[in-house]
Amino acid sequence: MPADPLIEETPSGLFCRRGGFYIDPWGKVEKAVITHAHADHARPGSAAYLGTHEGRRILRSRLGPSAVIETIRYGETKQMNGVQLSLHPAGHVLGSAQVRVEYRGEVWVVSGDYKTEPDPTCTPFEPVRCHTFITESTFGLPIYRWPAQQSVFADINQWWIHCRDADMPAVIFAYSLGKAQRLIAGVNPAIGPIFCHSSVEELNGEYRASGVPLPPTFLVSQAPARKKWGGVLLICPPGAAESSWMNRFSAASTAMASGWMLTRATRRWQSVDRGFPLSDHADWPGLLNAIQQTEAEQILVTHGHTEPMVRYLQEQGKQARTVVTRFSPETQSEPTAAEPAAVNAGPHQ
C-alpha cells in the first residue's frame, strides 16, 4: 500500500485522514460515515454521522434519537476538507451504500456489505469505477453460488403450504433488518397470515414509512393469548430459536433463511427442519463480477473468506491483499428474543 493512502487502517477502523472521517468505525469517533444500519457497521456513540437519505429512518432507529445524523442522496457529492465523498447503492438492505472517496483524481470505494441480486426492498447494487476497491468477502468461496431466488421463494411457499395443510405454524428465522423484509416481500401472502417478532415488526414499520411496500404483517405479542397458530407464517430473529418466546408455538416446523443454508452441515448445526439459501450478500460469481466492473487496480478484501478470494485474484494477475476489520460476516447472532425488543437494542444482522 502507498505510504500515504487515501483510506488507511487504524485501531478505530477505516480512516480518511485528509477528509477527517471514518467509515463504519468500531468505536466512538468525531465523524462516522455509515454504509448501512446493521449493528456491526452502525455503532452508537460517535459525535456525528453521515448516511443515505433512503436509510435515514432505519439509521435513526438504530442509533437513537440523540444521535447527530446528516444524510445525502445516492450520487450526491459532499466536500469534506477537499475530499469528494458520495454514497452509491450497495443492494444489501434498505439505505445500504458504497462509499466513494476522491482526492486529486484518485478514487477509492469502500463497498460495505453488498449483493448483486435484485431485491424489491432496497435500491439495486450500482458498480462504481475506482482505482482501489475495498470489498467484503463473506461468501468468498467458489461453493457459494445462489440458486435463483424465484426457486427459493417457491420452496418457502411450498413449505408454508405444507405446514398450513398439517395445521402447524411455520417459523422461519431471519435477521430482523433486511432479510426479514425481503422474505415478507417475496412470499405469497395469500397462503395465510404473517406474524412477526417485535424486533422484525418494528423495522417493518420503518420500511413502510420509507416507502417500501410490504404485505400486511402482525405483531405476535398482540395476538389473542390462545390463538391457534396452525398455518401462520412466523418470522423472528435467529436468537429466538432457543428462547422461551418459542414455547407458544407447539409442534412448529422451523426453518432458517441464510446463505449458510446452502450446505447440509450448517442446516444440521442450526437444528432446523428446513434451510433456505437466501442471502443479502453477494455469492462467489457476484463478488467477482462486482470487482471486475469497478476496473480497480488494487483490491483490498475484508471480512469473510478473505484469503481464498485474495489468492484467486492474485492468480488472475490482480493486485490484492487482505484488510483486517471487525465487521461480522453473516452470522447467526441476534439480540435477545424477549418481547418487546427495542429496535436499537442490539445487533440485527
| Full pLDDT tens readout for the chain, 349 residues | 456 899 999 999 999 999 999 999 999 999 999 999 999 999 999 999 999 999 999 999 999 999 999 999 999 999 999 999 999 999 999 999 999 999 999 999 999 999 999 999 999 999 999 999 999 999 999 999 999 999 999 999 999 999 999 999 999 999 999 999 999 999 999 999 999 999 999 999 999 999 999 999 999 988 876 678 999 999 999 988 888 888 888 889 999 999 999 986 665 556 899 999 999 999 999 999 999 999 999 999 999 999 999 999 999 999 999 998 777 665 433 333 333 333 333 333 3
b/e 37-47 (16+ beta carbons within 10 angstroms → b) = bbbbbbbeebe
86 and 42 belong to one structural domain: yes
Q: Which of 254, 276, 298 is the last residue of a domain?
A: 276
318 and 243 belong to one structural domain: no
Q: Say how far apart CA 109 and CA 130 lie, in whole Å.
A: 6
Would strands 218-219 and 194-196 be described as parallel, antiparallel, or unpaired?
parallel
The backbone torsions φ and ψ at residue 63, rounded to the nearest 5 degrees and listed phi first, read: -95, -15
Residue 340 lies in a domain: no
135 and 15 belong to one structural domain: yes
304 and 268 belong to one structural domain: no
The residue range of the domain holding 304 is 8-143+280-322
Q: Which of 346, 339, 301, 292 is nearest to 320 (CA)?
A: 301
- Contact yes or no for 237/176 (Cβ under 8 A): yes
35 and 127 belong to one structural domain: yes
pLDDT of residue 332: 38
155 and 260 belong to one structural domain: yes
87 and 50 belong to one structural domain: yes
Residue 342 lies in a domain: no
Burial of 264 (0-12, 13-18, 19+ CB in 10 A): exposed
Cβ count near 104 (within 10 Å): 9
Residue 24 lies in a domain: yes
Burial of 108 (0-12, 13-18, 19+ CB in 10 A): buried
Residue 115 lies in a domain: yes
15 and 138 belong to one structural domain: yes
The tally of domains found in the chain comes to: 2
The one-letter amino acid at 217 = T
314 and 223 belong to one structural domain: no
Residue 155 lies in a domain: yes
Give the cell for residue 68: 447527530
pLDDT of residue 4: 84
pLDDT of residue 335: 34
pTM: 0.91
Burial of 289 (0-12, 13-18, 19+ CB in 10 A): middle
Give the cell for residue 78: 459532499
Residue 45 lies in a domain: yes
CATH number where 189 lies:
3.40.50.10890
Residue 327 lies in a domain: no
HSE (side-chain half, CA atoms, 13 Å) at 268: 3
pLDDT of residue 151: 98
Q: Which of 259, 276, 293 is the last residue of a domain?
A: 276
25 and 171 belong to one structural domain: no
pLDDT of residue 344: 32
260 and 202 belong to one structural domain: yes
For residue 339, the 8-state DSSP code is S
269 and 305 belong to one structural domain: no
Q: Say how far apart CA 299 and CA 291 lie, in whole Å.
A: 8
Residue 36 lies in a domain: yes
